[in-house]
Structure 1
Amino acid sequence: MPRVDVQIPTSEGVSNGSLHVPDGAGPWPGVVVFPDAFGLRDTMRDMGDHLASLGYVALVPDVFYRAGDWAPFDPATAFTDQKERGRLFGLMSGLTNGRVIADADAYADFLLARPEVRGTAVGTTGYCMGGRMSLVAAGGIGDKIAAAASFHAARVAIPDDPNSPHLAADNIRAAVYVAGSIEDQGFTAEHAELLDSALTSAGVPHTIEFYPGHHGFAVPDNAPYDPALAERHWEALRGFYAERLLSAG
């Protein structure tokens, strides 16, 4: 499957991303992959390849492009090394909801303009930080997203948080799939109930479930990675996109 380095124009610069195209004759539906807090790297490119193998053109953007040529993080030490932790949280703090929405709009437009991509809407998926971004994007760019997935994300339904993605449920036009992780204070059963209530009230088709793994179960270079749960997540995406994204194009 072809893997192409691309430059994605945004309202604040250019994001250097990775485009992953299925083998064979297209066009195919497009999917934006929002990476976890460690950003665009080989693991995320491999996940883009996997999505391409399922029949989707996957775009993995550098969500930290505003920082310029930032040094890669080592997932094994990014949270334990004080200096690296500070650098990581500094980059994350720059991704306000407004910026996430503006960038997501640019990513979707970039995909939809590609000759390899068909349809008028894309899918999204995201992991940890990227899982939250996937839902923020769905609440921000409306009809451009047909299916929004989120895996082991945190802070997607927080009471009294004016930036919580669940507050934009009325603006979501996508179907939503959320898979939480166990023992995760960022997305508890109470948070899941709040998210379910918001999506139900807004008439958003959705599935919310918990996988029996810890935060990071779907991403191979994360310590809690679980191959069986990662495969379950791919099968969930396969079914979710087949039902919601293929029919949108």
Structure 2
Amino acid sequence: MSTRYERIESHDGESFDAYCAVPATTPAPGILLFQEVFGVNDNMRGLAEQLAGRGYAALVPDVFWRVQRRFESKDESGLAEGMTLAQQLDHALVAKDITATFAHLLAMPECNGKVGGVGFCLGGTLAYLFATQSRVDGRGPDAVVSYYGSAISDVETGSKKIDFPMLFHYGANDPYIPQERVDEVEAAFAGHADVQVLRYDAGHAFSNWDAPSFYDKPAADLAWSRTLEFFAKHL
């Protein structure tokens, strides 16, 4: 496995960074990994490296770059600043940046042409944005996983744009996402045989080992094992 930073060209002539981890044997399926409000930090880099160790070419775009480049925080100490940055995001521009990253990954020699996506918290919302809006030459992703995306909305409309496998992970005790919201996601995708909505006896951000007050190892391990099985099946 090797790691580096890739420079992504945006639609408006600017550029931004994405952390990249690729396996020893390529070409391989690609995965876009979407950050939490803590930025592209040790947790995100570690997840990218885990994916590369499993045989995927992983790319983690810096979605905060239009507000503050390369922001990262190791733990809850950066939560307030990260939330402030997240509130300044223009989601229409973020969607374009995600599509640019998608196109970049498809063009990388290490990618075999199949691409999945996975994101956590803010990234869970961005993974849904990727699933519903990102298309390159008419094609979308092959499989997407969303962990507790608190700003996922309009799922009834969004579900009609998804014709590929998708997996949602939620904490049943999440104080930021009412279970009624999870019920709405579940209902919107009830007719999609290849979409699953899973709930865990955990709170918000339960998979983030860099945030001890949120981390729930049993739930995190179970969700990650299911995520890896999902990608192994569909990518």
Corresponding residue number in structure 2 for 1:98: 92
Equivalent residues of 1:122, 1:145 under 8 A apart: yes
- Judge which range, 54-63 or 169-178, deviates more: 169-178
Equivalent residues of 1:156, 1:187 under 8 A apart: no
Q: Distance in 1 between matches of 2:226 and 2:93?
A: 28
Counterparts of 1:1-249 in structure 2 under 5 Å? 1-12=1-12, 13-23=14-24, 25-69=25-69, 71-79=71-79, 85=80, 87-119=81-113, 121-142=114-135, 143-157=139-153, 164-201=154-191, 203=192, 205-223=194-212, 224-245=214-235
Equivalent residues of 1:136, 1:165 under 8 A apart: no
Equivalent residues of 2:41, 2:74 under 8 A apart: no
Q: CA RMSD, aligned part only?
A: 2.0
TM-score normalized with structure 2 length: 0.89
- Inter-CA distance 71–188: structure 2 relative to 1 (3 Å threshold): closer
- Inter-CA distance 64–71: structure 2 relative to 1 (3 Å threshold): closer
Equivalent residues of 1:145, 1:173 under 8 A apart: no
Task: Please give the secondary structure, in 2, of the residue aligned with 1:145.
Answer: coil
Alpha-carbon offset, residue 166 of structure 1:
4.9
Task: Please give the secondary structure, in 2, of the residue aligned with 1:118.
Answer: strand
Q: Distance in 1 between matches of 2:34 and 2:84?
A: 18
> What code does the residue aligned with 1:9 have?
E
- Inter-CA distance 132–71: structure 2 relative to 1 (3 Å threshold): closer
- Judge which range, 142-151 or 51-60, deviates more: 142-151
Alpha-carbon offset, residue 165 of structure 1:
4.9
Where structure 1 has 5 or more consecutive residues not aligned to the other structure, the ranges are 80-84, 158-163
Task: Please give the secondary structure, in 2, of the residue aligned with 1:213.
Answer: coil
Number of aligned pairs?
Answer: 230
Equivalent residues of 1:21, 1:58 under 8 A apart: yes
Alpha-carbon offset, residue 70 of structure 1:
5.4
Q: Distance in 2 between matches of 1:186 and 1:169?
A: 22
Equivalent residues of 1:33, 1:124 under 8 A apart: yes
> What code does the residue aligned with 1:110 have?
H
Percent identity between matched residues is 26
Q: Distance in 1 between matches of 2:69 and 2:177?
A: 32
Alpha-carbon offset, residue 194 of structure 1:
1.1
